[in-house]
């Protein structure tokens, strides 16, 4: 066995996807499977696809390239981050859809698509709750009018928003209703059909669960909820899902007694910042925690009796999972 390793229980992921996608589908809401946390890993993506996820979204073009090669030309792929102008030439050939807020970026996409005789869909992102990307509400109609007049190879497919990515502010029904109002205004004044309102991410899952999502919101972008079994407004567990589909294991390479009569035992694991940041993982062994970390070592204090060669298990949070998946030093092991 290679350590550190991340054990990925595909059966538990499958259970989570089936439950969450089913509950969304019952309310007419399409789920975009967000793959950025698992770097477009095709084993995990395959589980999502098998259980009803029809669209995949990611913020990194390299991950989307991986998914395109795996799924082939028919798969709908959605660039979640506003594209860099330097990547639009490749973006147009990889993705069917992208989130956008900048006129010059959409103009560049249209130019590439026109030269290739293809079309591209955009989601117009609106700033409501998160202070991240997005047009202010009064900028949305002029932006859409510009795209309609100046970007002939681009279709406005939808409007969307984010919450709980940068700030701690939770999504509100008021902000979601604003999207519905903007959609109506655009359709009425520009005579175009906008089929999608992308209401947010895992932070709005509570509204879905309680059936409080305003009518008209028909898409949600979900990654964390399906992978870790909780929504992200209050981090409450989602009924029926697993929160331990991903377990990180590390090997102990040194043990010693606690200093100064301390009853805690101290140990060092072969796990460092090149693998994962210690504040994004929690030890599963009771009364055990990482107290210090360097690039290659994690210093552990525990009341348990452990010895050199023992394996310690940790449960990562969302960013811990992202770091583990990103590190080439963490072995990925799939469990069915």
pLDDT, one tens digit per residue, over 18-75 is 999 999 999 999 999 999 999 999 999 999 999 999 999 999 999 999 999 999 999 9
Is a pLDDT exceeding 90 seen at residue 310?
A: yes
Residues 6+ apart with CB under 8 A from 72: none
At 124-156, the pLDDT tens digits run 999 986 566 799 999 999 999 999 999 999 999
The pLDDT value recorded for residue 260 is 54
Are both 191 and 60 inside the same structural domain?
yes
Identify whether 99 is part of a domain: yes
- CA–CA distance, 41 with 127 (Å, rounded to integer): 30
Least confident window among 61-65, 100-104, 110-114, 261-265: 261-265
The pLDDT value recorded for residue 174 is 84
Least confident window among 52-66, 167-181, 217-231, 299-313: 167-181
Are both 76 and 108 inside the same structural domain?
yes
Q: 171, 197, 228 — which closes off a domain? A: 228
Question: Percent of the chain, pLDDT > 70?
Answer: 95
Mean pLDDT (whole number) for 165-193: 84
Are both 224 and 280 inside the same structural domain?
no
Report the domain count for the chain. 2
Are both 37 and 119 inside the same structural domain?
yes
- CATH code assigned at 70: 3.20.20.10
Is a pLDDT exceeding 70 seen at residue 261?
A: no
Q: How confident is the model at residue 162 (pLDDT cuts 50, 70, 90)?
A: confident
Are both 121 and 264 inside the same structural domain?
no
Are both 126 and 251 inside the same structural domain?
no
The pLDDT value recorded for residue 153 is 98
- CA–CA distance, 305 with 191 (Å, rounded to integer): 70
Are both 198 and 324 inside the same structural domain?
no
Is a pLDDT exceeding 70 seen at residue 166?
A: no
Are both 206 and 260 inside the same structural domain?
no
Is a pLDDT exceeding 90 seen at residue 170?
A: no
Long-range contacts of 289-292 (CB under 8 A, 24+ apart): none
Q: 228, 256, 278 — which closes off a domain? A: 228
Mean pLDDT (whole number) for 186-195: 97
Are both 154 and 253 inside the same structural domain?
no
The pLDDT value recorded for residue 259 is 62
Q: 171, 201, 228 — which closes off a domain? A: 228
Mean pLDDT (whole number) for 158-162: 92
**DSSP for residue 52:** T
Identify whether 4 is part of a domain: no
Identify whether 239 is part of a domain: no
Mean pLDDT (whole number) for 305-321: 97
Q: How confident is the model at residue 336 (pLDDT cuts 50, 70, 90)?
A: confident
Query: DSSP letters along 148-214, please?
Result: HHH-TTEEEEEEE---SSSSSPPP-HHHHHHHHHHHHHHHHHH-----EEE--SGGGHHHHHTT-SP
Identify whether 233 is part of a domain: no
- CATH code assigned at 269: 2.40.37.20
Identify whether 81 is part of a domain: yes
Higher pLDDT, 174 or 317: 317
Distance from the first to the final alpha carbon of the chain: 17
Segments forming the whole domain that contains residue 309: 246-335
The model's pTM is: 0.93
Higher pLDDT, 250 or 170: 250
Are both 296 and 215 inside the same structural domain?
no
The pLDDT value recorded for residue 75 is 97
């Amino acid at each position: 066995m290679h350590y550190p390793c991340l054990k990925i229980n595909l059966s538990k992921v499958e259970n989570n996807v089936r439950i969450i996608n089913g509950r969304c589908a019952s309310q007419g809401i399409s789920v975009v499977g967000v793959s950025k946390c698992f770097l477009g890993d095709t084993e995990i993506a395959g589980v999502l696809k098998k259980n009803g996820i029809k669209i995949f979204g990611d913020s990194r073009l390299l991950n989307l390239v991986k998914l395109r090669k795996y799924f082939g030309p028919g798969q709908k792929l959605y660039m979640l981050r506003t594209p860099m102008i330097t990547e639009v030439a490749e973006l147009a050939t990889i993705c069917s859809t992208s989130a956008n807020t900048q006129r010059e970026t959409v103009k560049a996409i249209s130019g590439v698509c026109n030269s290739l005789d293809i079309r591209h869909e955009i989601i117009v992102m609106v700033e409501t709750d998160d202070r991240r990307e997005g047009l202010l509400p009064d900028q949305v109609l002029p932006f859409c009018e510009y795209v309609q007049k100046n970007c002939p190879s681009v279709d406005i497919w939808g409007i969307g928003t984010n919450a709980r990515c940068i700030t701690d502010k939770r999504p509100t029904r008021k902000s979601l209703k604003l999207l519905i109002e903007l959609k109506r205004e655009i359709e009425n004044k520009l005579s175009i059909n906008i089929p999608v309102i992308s209401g947010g991410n895992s932070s709005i899952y509570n509204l879905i669960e309680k059936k409080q999502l305003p009518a008209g919101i028909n898409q949600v972008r979900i990654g964390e909820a399906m992978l870790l079994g909780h929504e992200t407004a209050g981090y409450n567990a989602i009924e029926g899902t697993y929160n331990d589909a991903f377990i990180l294991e590390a090997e102990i390479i040194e043990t010693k007694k606690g200093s100064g009569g301390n009853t805690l035992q101290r140990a060092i694991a072969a796990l460092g910042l090149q693998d994962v940041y210690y504040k994004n993982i929690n030890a599963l062994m009771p009364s055990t925690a990482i107290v210090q970390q360097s690039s290659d070592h994690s210093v552990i204090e525990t009341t348990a009796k452990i010895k050199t060669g023992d394996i310690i298990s940790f449960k990562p949070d969302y960013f811990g999972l992202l770091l583990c998946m990103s590190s080439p030093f963490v072995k990925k092991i799939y469990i069915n």
